[in-house]
Chains A and B, each alone.
Chain A
Amino acid sequence: MMKPRIGGALAAMTLAAGMAGPVAAADDTFKIGVITFLSGQAAESFGVPAWNGGKLLVDMLNEGGRLPAPYDQQGFGGMNIEVVVVDEAGGATKQVQEFRNLVQREEVDAVVGYVSSGDCLAVPPVADELKAFTILYDCGTPRVFEDGSYDYVFRTAAHATMDNVSLARYLKSRNFDVPSFAGLNQDYAWGQDSWADFTGAMTQLYPDAEVKTALFPKFGAGQYGTEISALLRENPALVHSSNWGGDLQGFLIQATARGLHERAQLALAAGDHVIPQLQDKMPDGIFLGARGVNGLAAQARGGELKELTDTMWEAYEAEYGTFPVQAPFRMWQALFGLKTAVEKAMAENGGTKPTSEELAAAMKGLSWDAPSGHIEMALADGHQAIQPNAIGTTKWNADAGKMELVDVEYYDARCVNPPEGIKSQDWLAQGFPGAQCD
């Protein structure tokens, strides 16, 4: 039999692979592993703009002195930032393997990544096992910290409950009459959860509103002729959708062609990221969220974060010829948070590169400013961020040739996020106990 010979080849091969070993970062370099979608449906909408924004910020930080205080120090506490980028496409199985490779083979000092909720659920146990400091920068599911607790894992963006609670609050604060509503959401966890959050919030704020229909076309369906017919027939006052990317673009173009937006109010929980693609094909008068005070809502906000926001906005426009939407904002708030944590840890340990333990201690309960507002690690024992949110109404400015957001309402982080110690679904069911809205 040939077993020994093949076994020998196998051993030689794996040994060779082992010797193509890691290059640990030097003490004056902070190495981060970034995981985001570079291929697949989520690449155009989230992964690529997020990393465009991230790359830009890393370059600006490495150069030093291009950002206003408190981010005027070069790199992370004077250390150069080095980045290894990995594609998030391929599913949770592949991501767990890639995570191990980043930590054990590439020996990164921190991992920043994950748009997909499935990946965000799969990676944290491994991060804790390897004691690897990890930031989840984008994914939505509240389950990460509601079903588990991790020492080395932090999410620097609010979870998705905020998106739909804000949308419902926007309707209420604009005195929008909602006798009935319907939903069109993608048939996977994101769409199902968004619809559950939205109906949960509506039950509290509009107890008499009737749910006409809840449609769940397949993820990536692209064709919504049947669904639009159903929506036109049911004739709800409002249509909710958390669709994103090509699915949202397809739905909007097909719905406007058939006049759905004139017969029902469209409310999009996370729709801002398709504006650069759709431009004036995005109809006026849509209620629009951006999963935080991101994109157009951040630019319209002004205030004390104006300088930071404008610096990033202008650099992004100059570099990529389009304006930044939600994804780069969420990447920025993760990197600014990481920078703040690294520098805090270095102030405490005497200026050497912090270990994972020191980083985790510094990150816990941290708060910092980002272009998207004041971020606080307020939930899950200091591991889950809350952040303010904004909803606005689209209005095409034909003179300037660009989309604007009007009638923007800003919501305090504690108004649209559940307080510590209560699960999002319970918080919705109990009528937002502890919500602080002024």
Chain B
Amino acid sequence: MRSKLFLGATAAFAVLAAGSVILPDWAMFLCAMALAKGLVCLGIVGMMRGGVVSFGQGLYYCIGAYTATLVANSFGVSDIFLLTLLSALACLLVGMAFGPLLSSYRGIFFAMLSLALSMVLYGSLSKMSVIGGTDGLNIAAPTFLGWAPEGRPLQTALYIYVVAIVVIAGTLMRIYFDSEQGLITLATRDNELRVEYLGASVRNIMTYNYVFGAVLGGIGGTIAALALGHVDPEFAFWTTSGEFVFVAILAGYLSVPAVFVAAIILELVRSFSNLYFPNTWQLALGIFLLVVIVLLPNGLGSLVGRRKGNAA
């Protein structure tokens, strides 16, 4: 089982990394952004397995992006590894502060509370004109352990970086999902009371899932900020969080790779509908979302699960 997983991960890395050679510039950038957002969505999927959905994952996406930007602008740090690490740490701390609080809520209460936290951050950042207010601020291109590429090499390096993180994070999350804790999460989804009676702490599990989601969100936000070169409070706005939830629903909670496939599909659909229907692209996007929800209520991952006849 484990060796199969590593084989799969290696293959996924090879396939994705090949994109750095075959993809045109715009598509590589689109994929890099989609994968970065996919990381955030993977965090939501982790929570979805336990039956809760965070509508405020933009909180961590935004904290990650702003941590990287402020550190880069204040201390002149441009190393992508260091920035990612710092943002992940910041999100870990914030996640550990809010995790225990949120872990006792379920359903709409969990969703709304997480949403409220992200909107508090959005409101605060919008008011802070020192760091650009609603206009946000720019962040310079990252360096890679002292190497400062430009143009296509920069995009390639960023893409490979995000691919590597995606594969590592995806593999780790798969291992976590298949672990005892991960399976208890799945059991919680079915019957929380029974899990408690069996002696497991549902609150702890929920806290773990939330904190993992926070860290993944922070990493995704950092990469997105570095790729875009700009951050603004919209990162924490509910529409951003809503998009993450949508990708998570599109992917379903059954498969890890499906999350990233869903993220890329969403970006492609949005990009092309924006080009071909400039006046009605929202409508085109909406119809696509509806069709997917109607045809695949359990998400893209269910395509895989159905064939395997195994829903884990």
Interface residues of A (CB under 8 A from B): 1-11, 13-15, 17-18, 20-21, 38-39, 84-87, 89-94, 96-98, 100-101, 103-106, 117-118, 121-122, 125-126, 129, 141, 143, 147-148, 187-189, 192
Contact = CB atoms under 8 A, between A and B. Distances in A.
Contacts of B31: 14
Contact of B135 (A4, A100, A121): A121
Interface stretch (B91-99, B195-203, B228-236): B228-236
Contacts of A91: 232, 234, 237, 239-240
A18 B134 CA distance: 34
B57 to A, nearest CB: 15
Contacts of B265: 13
Given A2-B255, A118-B135, A188-B134, A87 B281 contact: yes
Task: For the complex of A and B, list the 7 residue pairs with the smallest distance between their C-beta atoms, beginning with the closest.
Answer: A3-B8, A122-B230, A7-B15, A104-B26, A1-B8, A188-B134, A189-B135
A84 B229 contact: no
Contacts of B258: 6
27 contacts: A3-B8, A4-B12, A10-B16, A11-B15, A15-B22, A38-B279, A39-B279, A39-B282, A86-B274, A89-B282, A91-B232, A92-B230, A92-B234, A93-B228, A93-B230, A93-B235, A94-B274, A97-B30, A100-B30, A104-B29, A105-B26, A122-B229, A126-B229, A129-B141, A129-B229, A189-B134, A189-B135
A91 to B, nearest CB: 4
Interface of B: 4-5, 7-9, 11-12, 15-16, 18-19, 22-27, 29-31, 33, 126-127, 129, 132-138, 140-141, 150-151, 154, 224, 228-230, 232, 234-235, 237, 239-240, 255, 257-258, 260-261, 264-265, 267-268, 270-272, 274-275, 278-279, 281-282, 304, 308
A232 B255 CA distance: 61
Most buried by A among B22, B26, B224, B237: B26
Contacts, number: 169
B278 A11 contact: no
Nearest to A21: B24
Contacts of B260: 10
B228 A92 contact: yes
B8 to A, nearest CB: 3
A6 B166 CA distance: 14
Contact of A93 (B4, B7, B224, B308): B224
Contact of A189 (B30, B132, B150): B132
Contacts of B281: 87
Given A6-B257, A86-B275, A100-B29, 8 more contacts: A9-B261, A18-B24, A84-B275, A87-B279, A87-B281, A93-B224, A96-B230, A187-B127
A10 B264 contact: yes
Contacts of A126: 229
Contacts of A125: 138, 140-141, 229-230
A118 B270 CA distance: 21
